[in-house]
Amino acid sequence: MRPANAPESAIPIPPPGNAVSDAQATQINGIRRAVDDLNRVATSNWEDAKRNWLAAASHDRELGITIHSKPVQPYGSDVIIGADTDFSSGIIWIWLEPILLGSPCPDLPPATPSTPSVSLMPVAITDMMNVPEGDIMPVGHVEIAPDGSKWQKVQSKTLFGTSTFYKRIATVATLLLMLLISSAARLSAQVTVACSPEPPEVVAALKMKAVLPWGCFLRNDAPTPRTLNPEDVYIGVIQARPVDPASALIVLSDHQSHSTAGTILKAITIGGQVAGIVTGFTKTLPTGWSTGMAVGSGAIPAVTSFIQGQVPSIAPYAANLLQSPVVLAPAGGPGATATKLIFCARQKAPQPLTVLIP
């Protein structure tokens, strides 16, 4: 019968001398090896967990943050062999019992008074300091300066190898102050850009199908002068699908040459050239023909001047096109605003937009 201290999961092993007993003996040896391997791995992991906790707890204490509770010592298994209550049967029993692995996790040792290992200046003007000669503290060590600021030893990869130095640890108050200063500087240094498509009447008069002119109104909100690059504006209003200035000039020139007056002017110019060539042969033409040619050729300059006045000029658009940096005076003064022209791809229902450029 099963021993009194054996659990119900205990396995009976017949006495030696038969095939079943030999097979179970082999199985028991396999169980012993497997249990030993599991205990060995669990013990190694437990030792690593203790070291990691001690290092993390010491670091958290130096930073003044909550220390996590100690890890729980793990259990392993021990193989137990017991004799049957009927000794004459020769049967033995095998089972597993839980055992604690390794040693308990030690308590965090008391903090020792910190002696500054960094040569801190009375008033720090940088966020990084060199490691003083003779410093042996590990990377990650935190030093508290007399003024209460905290400095951590860190490493950084450089082109010349690894650099080790102390870096100031920013507190929540410092981060908030830096954020407020950054936001105030950003708001005070911004340029307001308001863009609006030209009215339908202007668009209809220009008879442009591929692009639409937009008026851009720039205002410097900073107390200092500001030079605004065209790319800053084009990036800010990218949802309006702006056209590159060089491409816009090509479109304008093409529109000018294909206008009705431009086409007529081109035809008259070519006709004048033909008439000049033909006039050279008037000696061989009848008198009436040569006289008509002369009269017609004499009228070409006057007609050309008239038609040239009807060709739409692109000069106003080219002069005001946003294609070079714009210098804006300080906010509130003369020259703090400017009006420029940009061209955008045609849209079904373009809407005005306003952006802030930092």
Whether 161 and 259 share a structural domain: no
Answer whether residue 313 is part of any domain: yes
Whether 95 and 117 share a structural domain: no
pLDDT at residue 184 greater than cutoff 60: no
pLDDT confidence of residue 206: 64
> Dmax over Cα atoms in the chain, in whole Å?
156
Tell me the C-alpha distance between 69 and 231, whole Å: 56
Q: What is the mean pLDDT of residues 325-336?
A: 90
> Containing domain of residue 299, as a range?
191-357
The string of pLDDT tens digits covering residues 221-243 is 888 898 989 998 999 898 889 98
Q: What is the mean pLDDT of residues 59-64?
A: 82
pLDDT at residue 132 greater than cutoff 80: no
Among 43, 74, 100, the domain-final residue is 100
Whether 348 and 207 share a structural domain: yes
CA 274 to chain CA centroid, nearest Å: 65
pLDDT at residue 119 greater than cutoff 50: no
- Structural domains of the chain, count: 3
Interacting residues of 333 by C-beta distance below 8 A, sequence separation 6+ = none
pLDDT confidence of residue 189: 58
Tell me the C-alpha distance between 54 and 288, whole Å: 118
Whether 136 and 221 share a structural domain: no
Whether 240 and 326 share a structural domain: yes
Answer whether residue 179 is part of any domain: no
The string of pLDDT tens digits covering residues 270-303 is 554 544 544 544 445 455 444 444 444 444 455 4
Whether 29 and 63 share a structural domain: yes
Answer whether residue 133 is part of any domain: yes
pLDDT confidence of residue 282: 47
pLDDT-derived band at 96 (thresholds 50, 70, 90) equals: confident
* C-alpha angle 127-133-139 in degrees, rounded to nearest 5: 55
pLDDT at residue 70 greater than cutoff 80: yes
Answer whether residue 175 is part of any domain: no
Q: Whole-prediction pTM value?
A: 0.38
Among 61, 78, 100, the domain-final residue is 100
Q: What is the mean pLDDT of residues 54-65?
A: 84
